[in-house]
Amino acid sequence: MSSNRRNFLRNITLGTGALVTETPSFANVISDESDRSLFAQNRSRSFNMCGYAAPKMDKVRIGIIGLGMRGPGAVERMSFIEGVEIKALCDQYPDRVASAQKILEKKGLPKATEYSGSKEAWKELCNRPDIDLVYITTPWSWHTPMAVYAMEHGKHAASEVPAARTIEECWQLVETSEKTKKHCMMLENCCYDFFELLTLNMTRNGMFGELVHAEGAYLHNLLSLNFDKNGYAEMWRLKENASRNGNLYPTHGLGPVAQCMNINRGDQMDYLVSLSSNDFLMSATAKEKAATDSFYNEFKDKHYRGNMNTTVIKTVKGKTIMVQHDVTSPRPYSRIHLISGTKGMASKWPDPKRISFGEGWIKDEEFKALEEKYTLPIVKHIGAMAKNIGGHGGMDFIMDWRLIDNLRNGLPLDQDVYDAALWSSIAPLSEKSVANRSRSMDIPDFTKGAWKTNRPVNLTLDGGGNTEVRAVTTDGSKQLKVN
């Protein structure tokens, strides 16, 4: 189908979808953005951030915003990395800032300046001239405003996932990063898990042939946590599930396979279709809780998103990607991570991790041999320490260490603003597709054609790797360092 014809059909679909789907509470939300948001021809590119290396810095001075679920872990991990100075801590709740401050005190590190007591306190942090990187671990709705403001005020930005909630926000990130020449990295930690890195390197070395299909997911039962009054601040995550219907959290499964498939760097996502089940769990839970606790009255009559969403993506070069999202069903945790090529495939989640070059899985000894040969230098360099320090089995620490090491050595980041925008855009596009009876939705090219010549992600050390790790012990006495 030609691009013009597909655009024509899409415009008809978007104009009539709300009447067909009979889901006005969702349709009203997802139809607010104009067609201008979708297409690159309405946008100008001032600079290509893919492969961009910012000037070296001896020390990375960090301000961390958001100290609830994810922020304290970031403070803990960064406290281990040499060349890092945590200059400022911010959260609207003062007790959270005080708690994070204690992490630095226990490590004997300098006290950070505290910002709290207001939903706007983070702007004071971003206005400081002595901060290089703003690290954002807040509710989703704040990610783009904070990252954009930080870049506009001369800081690199690193945001928890997703980096944006709307297509317009995705473009804001791209255009601000290009204009300011400041990095905007989405902190997709799953790209740094051990098996994901192994399969990325094996893919680079042609072990699976040409990749044809990939799968990723976020299947994680968060039903109790989402309804916990002492969980997410102001019940923000439950409110997201009550106002949007689609794959709200696609990047954990999508990011690693997108890197394997060289998306934004040799291939590009073209369009998607998305389908959601009905809700069989959230509304019932809200009503059950409201029957005994009036706190939940505001949630009992909401129209919640479907429990399982399945989104299928077609790339320009004819590859396919399936991404699923379910945070309510009682089932084992899984991110899936499956890549399938013309010579073989790899799969993990749920366990075990497996590799095949035919109709059966290879034996354990064969797997170990491949693991030894294709484990990336970064894993050999920092992997043991990462597991010892923690953070989802070590992948969080590898991500943070790699970010700091690249900034200190003036190297391009593994994930750039185009990855942040593209991977995040799947959420709002899936909403549009679901609201329009799973009609196909064109996916914007945030690189504006540069994907044809952009180079693939390179996760070797590239002459860096001079960042040390502070006092990590495995036996209670021996200090481990990377230098």
Q: Which residues of 274-300 are buried (b: 16+ CB within 10 A; e: fewer)?
A: bbbeebebbbebbeebbeeeeebeebe
Residue 12: predicted pLDDT: 38
Say if strands 269-276 and 309-315 run parallel, antiparallel, or are unpaired.
Answer: antiparallel
For the chain, what percent of residues have pLDDT higher than 70?
88
Average of per-residue pLDDT across 234-251: 97
Does the pLDDT of residue 414 top 80, yes or no?
yes
Give tens-digit pLDDT for 58-69. 999 999 999 999
Say if strands 184-186 and 320-326 run parallel, antiparallel, or are unpaired.
Answer: unpaired
Q: Which residues does residue 310 pair with via DSSP β-bridges, in sequence order?
A: 275, 324
465 Ramachandran zone, left/alpha/beta (phi>0; psi -120 to 50) = left
Total of domains in the chain:
1
CATH number at residue 258: 3.30.360.10
Give tens-digit pLDDT for 86-131. 999 999 999 999 999 999 999 999 999 999 999 999 999 999 999 9
Does the pLDDT of residue 20 top 60, yes or no?
no
Residue 40: predicted pLDDT: 60
pTM: 0.91
Compare 27 and 209 and report the one with higher pLDDT. 209
- Using pLDDT thresholds of 50, 70 and 90, give the confidence band for residue 465: confident
Output the DSSP codes for 187-225. --GGGGSHHHHHHHHHHHTTTT-SEEEEEEEEE---HHH
Residue 122: predicted pLDDT: 98
Distance, CA of 483 to CA of 467 (rounded, Å): 6
Residue 252 within any structural domain of the chain: yes
- Using pLDDT thresholds of 50, 70 and 90, give the confidence band for residue 9: very low
Residue 52 within any structural domain of the chain: no
Q: Which range (21-25, 164-168, 202-206, 293-297) has the least confidence?
A: 21-25
Residue 112 within any structural domain of the chain: no
Compare 284 and 40 and report the one with higher pLDDT. 284
Does the pLDDT of residue 184 top 90, yes or no?
yes
Residue 313 within any structural domain of the chain: yes
Q: Which range (16-20, 350-354, 394-398) has the least confidence?
A: 16-20
Structural domain range at position 205: 3-43+190-452
Residue 472: predicted pLDDT: 62
Distance, CA of 47 to CA of 63 (rounded, Å): 26
- Using pLDDT thresholds of 50, 70 and 90, give the confidence band for residue 8: very low
Residue 48 within any structural domain of the chain: no
Compare 266 and 457 and report the one with higher pLDDT. 266
- Using pLDDT thresholds of 50, 70 and 90, give the confidence band for residue 460: confident
Does the pLDDT of residue 15 top 90, yes or no?
no
Q: How does the average pLDDT of the chain come out, rounded? A: 91
**Cβ pair 362, 186 in contact under 8 A:** no
Q: Which residues does residue 355 pair with via DSSP β-bridges, in sequence order?
A: 346
Residue 174 within any structural domain of the chain: no
Distance, CA of 253 to CA of 263 (rounded, Å): 14
Give tens-digit pLDDT for 285-301. 999 999 999 999 999 99
Give tens-digit pLDDT for 422-455. 999 999 999 999 999 999 999 999 999 999 999 9
Residue 27: predicted pLDDT: 41
Q: Which residues does residue 274 pair with via DSSP β-bridges, in sequence order?
A: 311
Does the pLDDT of residue 39 top 70, yes or no?
no
Residue 115 within any structural domain of the chain: no
Residue 32: predicted pLDDT: 42
Average of per-residue pLDDT across 28-33: 42
**Cβ pair 379, 401 in contact under 8 A:** no
Say if strands 338-341 and 345-347 run parallel, antiparallel, or are unpaired.
Answer: antiparallel
Residue 26 within any structural domain of the chain: yes
Residue 393 CB neighbours (<10 A): 13
**Cβ pair 109, 152 in contact under 8 A:** no
Residue 482: predicted pLDDT: 45
Distance, CA of 278 to CA of 272 (rounded, Å): 20
